[in-house]
């Protein structure tokens, strides 16, 4: 009998050293360090590192997420996508490269640095940067046939931790084949402050047969976000997921077997 835990790819999207890392309240309120960072990513990184130990906590949250995957989904593969303009320090990079299978950092990318300089809030910077880098990583993986060995692709955020064996979760139930698996949608204030249904972006998965169509959805989401931003409207990844993913292709995990770090 095949251990299906070896058939999972976990993509962790992280902005480890960004001033908005892992803090939705700061993302919505905006933070001048994220908006006014100099063109030099190292300078921006130094600002983040002085933000009250936030960078250290974000890094600890990332390590906790990686450890939980290795504990509860042994044999899975882990991809780390660093999507902010604030690069990992060399010690962080050296430690992480030993713990993940793929590490992609987009800190030096001109478009990502442009988001950090030009967008008006940390909420917008984080949303555009995360979805753009996730799109790029998925496209590269598709080009290199990365997903063929896997049954499911998981998306996780730092601080979220698995608490039970992956094979015991709804993600590998027969009814989840060919579908996305999300926790139930929640009614919460969206980026504009209005109540709206949203999907959590911190822990969900998709059948690998959906990767190609999800890439197309990401492109549509980004186009919609650009239109909203140009009209002065706030943007939200959670709202985009709920709006664009076909409800008929979703299987709901009403009791996700995860925990969040105390700082989240």
Q: What's the pTM value of the predicted model, to 2 decimals?
A: 0.86
Residue range 8-24: mean pLDDT, rounded? 87
Task: Give 73's DSSP letter.
Answer: S
What percent of the chain has pLDDT above 90?
Answer: 74
Mean pLDDT over 77-86 rounds to 98
Alpha helices in the chain (DSSP H): 24-29, 32-35, 41-49, 54-72, 90-96, 110-118, 122-143, 211-230, 237-244
- Yes or no: say if 104 and 141 are a contact pair by the CB < 8 Å rule: no
Mean pLDDT taken over the chain: 86
- Nearest-10 crossing angle of helices 110-118, 122-143: 170
pLDDT at 235: 92
pLDDT at 33 over 80: no
| Structural element, H or E, at residue 187 | strand 186-189
Mean pLDDT, to the nearest integer, of 169-182?
96
| Structural domain boundaries enclosing 223 | 4-260
pLDDT in tens, 130-165: 999 999 999 999 999 999 999 999 999 999 999 999
pLDDT recorded at residue 195: 76
How far apart are the C-alpha atoms of 20 and 56, rounded to whole Å?
A: 13
Measured at the alpha carbon of residue 26, what is the angle toward residues 51 and 20, in degrees to the nearest 5? 55
Report whether pLDDT(40) > 90.
Answer: no
Residue in 15, 53, 47 with CA at minimum distance from that of residue 31: 47
Query: Percent of the chain having pLDDT more than 70?
Result: 83
Per-residue pLDDT band for 38 (boundaries 50, 70, 90) equals very low
- What are the tens digits of pLDDT across the range 124-136? 999 999 999 999 9
pLDDT digits (tens, 9 = 90+) for 213-229: 999 999 999 999 999 99
In CATH, what number is assigned to the domain containing residue 66?
3.90.550.10
User: What is the structure's pLDDT at 30?
Assistant: 31
Asked if residue 3 has pLDDT above 60, the reply is no
Show Cβ contacts of residue 4 under 8 Å, excluding neighbours closer than 6 positions.
Answer: 151, 166, 167, 172
Could you give the number of structural domains in the chain?
1
State the pLDDT at residue 5: 42
Per-residue pLDDT at 6 exceeds 70: no
Q: Are 159 and 69 in contact (CB under 8 A)?
A: no
Q: Model confidence over 183-206: pLDDT tens digits?
A: 999 987 766 677 789 999 999 999
Contacts of residue 145, Cβ cutoff 8 Å, sequence gap at least 6: none
Tens of pLDDT, residue by residue over 90-118, are 999 999 999 999 999 999 999 999 999 99
209: Cβ contacts below 8 Å, ≥ 6 apart: 178
Half-sphere exposure of 213 (CA within 13 A, CB side): 12
């Amino acid at each position: 009998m095949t251990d299906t835990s070896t058939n999972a790819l976990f993509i962790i999207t992280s902005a480890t050293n960004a001033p908005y890392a892992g803090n939705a309240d700061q993302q919505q309120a905006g933070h001048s360090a994220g908006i006014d960072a100099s063109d030099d990513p190292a300078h921006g990184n130094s600002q983040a590192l002085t933000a009250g130990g936030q960078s250290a906590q974000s890094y600890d949250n990332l390590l906790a997420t990686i450890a939980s995957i290795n504990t509860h989904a042994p044999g899975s593969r882990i991809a780390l996508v660093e999507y902010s303009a604030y690069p990992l320090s060399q010690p962080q990079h050296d430690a992480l490269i030993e713990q993940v299978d793929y590490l992609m950092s987009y800190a030096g990318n001109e478009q990502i640095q442009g988001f950090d300089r030009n967008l008006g809030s940390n909420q917008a910077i984080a949303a555009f940067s995360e979805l753009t880098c996730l799109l790029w990583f998925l496209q590269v993986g598709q080009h290199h046939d990365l997903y063929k060995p896997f049954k499911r692709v998981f998306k996780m955020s730092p601080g979220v931790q698995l608490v039970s064996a992956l094979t015991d979760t709804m993600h590998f139930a027969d009814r989840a084949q060919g579908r996305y698996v999300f926790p139930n949608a929640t009614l919460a204030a969206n980026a504009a402050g209005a109540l709206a249904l949203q999907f959590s972006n911190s822990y969900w998965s998709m059948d690998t047969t959906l990767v190609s169509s999800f890439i197309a959805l990401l492109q549509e989401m980004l186009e919609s976000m650009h239109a909203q931003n140009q009209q002065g409207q706030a943007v939200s990844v959670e709202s985009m997921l709920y709006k664009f993913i076909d409800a008929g292709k979703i299987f709901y995990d009403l009791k996700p077997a995860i925990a969040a770090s105390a700082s989240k």
